[in-house]
Amino acid sequence: MSDSNTLPQPKSGVMDIAIYVPGKSNVPSGVKLHKLSSNESPIGASPHAIAAIADVTSKMEDYPDGSSSALREAIAEVHGLNANNIICGNGSDEILSLLANTYLSSGDEAIFTEHGFLVYRIATLAAGATPVVVKEQDCKADVDAILNAVTPKTKLVFLANPNNPTGTYLPIEEIRRLHSNLPGHVVLVIDAAYAEYVRRNDYESGVEMVSANSNVIMTRTFSKIYGLAALRIGWAYGPRHMIDALNRVRGPFNVNAAAIAAGSAAIRDKVHLERSIVHNDEWLVKVTQMLQELGLEVTPSVGNFVLVHFPENSNKTAAGADQYLTERGYVLRMVGGYGFPNALRMTIGSKEANLGALAALREYMS
C-alpha cells in the first residue's frame, strides 16, 4: 500500500489554485428563480443561432471542423478582420489558459489587477508561473501600478477592459500608454468580454492595437451579449505568430459543431444584437439610479452588471442581502473572492427580474 509521500504529485502551483466557484443558481423550492449572478443575457440567443443548431443534430456522429473555419470567417466578416488572425476556443477562458500555457514557464510572472477576472490567477498558477497582483484606483486598473510591477520575469499582462466585477474601463489612450511602456517580449492580453455593451467615445475593444502591434492580443466571448453561454464560445484576434503558437497548443476539436453553427449565425444577427444593447442601455441606468436611491453605493459600470456596495459598520450587509434575496428567488453574486466582501454584483436582467430584485432589496434595507 502506498503512503501519501509516494502518491503522484501535481506540479508546483496547482494546489495553490482556489477552485473557481460560479454564480449560484439555486433558490428554495416553490420560488421562481431570477438568476442575476452570472451576467447572462436576459434577451437570450438569436433565433438564427437556435435554428442553426438544429442542422447539427442530424450529424452528431461527425467531428466538428477542427479549425472552426466557418466561425472564424463569420467573425472576420462582421469585424472586418483577417480570419487567419483569429482563434476560437471553448469559451474565452480556454484561450486565456492557452495563452498562459504557451507563454509562461516556471519562474515567469503574469500581472493582473486586484479585482481582475479570477481565471487569470488560475491560468498563471496552472502554467507553473507566478501571479503578480497590483492595486487598482477607485476600482479601476492603474496603468502606473502595472508598469511598476514589470520585471525581467514578466511575460504576460492580463487586462480586462471593461473589468468584471467592477464594470469600470480604461480609455484607449491609457491602454496605449500601458503598451508603449511594456518591453516587446511582454504580451498584453486585452480581455474585452463586455466590449459590445460599452457606450463611451474614448473606449476601443483593442482591435486597432492588435493590428498595429506584434505583442497584443484581444479575447472576446459569445457568452454575454450573444446569449450563448451554454455553448462556451470564445475567440481571440492576434498577430499571426501568436495565433500560430496557440494553435499548436490547443486541442484539435476544441469548439463543438453546435457552437460553430450557432456562433456563426449569432454574430451576423445585428437586429438581435441591437435589441440586447437597447435593453441594457435602458436598464443599466434605471437599476443604478434605483440602487442609489436605496442609499447603496454603486460603482459606475459600462457592462451588463453593477457592483453594489453595502454600508460599512451596519447590520445591512451583502451577506444578509444575499440570503434575503435568494429566499425570494433573486440570485445575485457574492464577490468576496474578488476582494469585495461586502458587495454584491447584480446582472442587468429582464424587467421583471430587475424590478423584483430592487423591491426585495428595498424591503431588506428598510
pLDDT digits (tens, 9 = 90+) for 218-266: 999 999 999 999 999 999 999 999 999 999 999 999 999 999 999 999 9
pLDDT digits (tens, 9 = 90+) for 8-41: 888 888 888 888 777 777 788 888 999 999 999 9
pLDDT higher than 70, residue 175: yes
pLDDT higher than 70, residue 4: no
Strand order in the sheet with 340-347: 297-299, 305-309, 340-347, 333-335
Distances (CA, A) of 153 to 105, 220, 308: 10, 27, 36
What is 10-44+271-365's CATH superfamily?
Aspartate Aminotransferase, domain 1 (3.90.1150.10)
Q: Which H, E and C letters describe the chain, residue by residue? A: CCCHHHCCCCCCCHHHCCCCCCCCCCCCCCCCCEECCCCCCCCCCCHHHHHHHHHHHHHCCCCCCCCCHHHHHHHHHHHCCCHHHEEEECHHHHHHHHHHHHHCCCCCEEEEECCCCHHHHHHHHHCCCEEEEECCECCECCHHHHHHHCCCCEEEEEEECCCCCCCCCCCHHHHHHHHHCCCCCCEEEEECCCHHHCCCCCCCCCHHHHHHCCCEEEEEECCCCCCCHHHCCEEEECCHHHHHHHHHHCCCCCCCHHHHHHHHHHHHCHHHHHHHHHHHHHHHHHHHHHHHHCCCEEECCCCCEEEEECCCCCCCCHHHHHHHHHHCCEECEEEHHHCEEEEEEEECCCHHHHHHHHHHHHHHHC
HSE (CB half, 13 Å, CA atoms) of 325?
Answer: 31
Type of residue numbered 32: K
How many residues are recorded in the chain?
366
HSE (CB half, 13 Å, CA atoms) of 284?
Answer: 21
In percent, how much of the chain has pLDDT > 70? 99
pLDDT digits (tens, 9 = 90+) for 49-58: 999 999 899 9
Q: What is the pLDDT of residue 3?
A: 63
Residues of the chain with CATH 3.40.640.10: 47-269
C-alpha cell at 50: 437556435
Tell me the CATH number for domain 47-269: 3.40.640.10
Residues of the chain with CATH 3.90.1150.10: 10-44+271-365
pLDDT higher than 70, residue 2: no
| pLDDT confidence tier of residue 160, bands split at 50, 70 and 90 | very high
Average pLDDT over residues 101-105: 97
User: First and final CA of the chain: distance in angstroms?
Assistant: 61
Residues paired with residue 343 on neighbouring β-strands, in sequence order: 309
HSE (CB half, 13 Å, CA atoms) of 67?
Answer: 10
Average pLDDT over residues 98-118: 97
Average pLDDT over residues 323-334: 97
Q: What is the pLDDT of residue 5?
A: 72
pLDDT digits (tens, 9 = 90+) for 124-153: 999 999 999 999 999 999 999 999 999 999
HSE (CB half, 13 Å, CA atoms) of 267?
Answer: 23
pLDDT higher than 70, residue 323: yes
Distances (CA, A) of 63 to 68, 83, 86, 186, 253: 11, 21, 21, 36, 7
pLDDT, averaged across the chain: 96
Distance between CA atoms of residues 124 and 157, nearest Å: 11
Distances (CA, A) of 167 to 95, 104, 107, 161, 205: 22, 28, 32, 9, 14
Q: What is the pLDDT of residue 1?
A: 54
Cβ contacts of 271 within 8 Å, gap of 6 or more = none
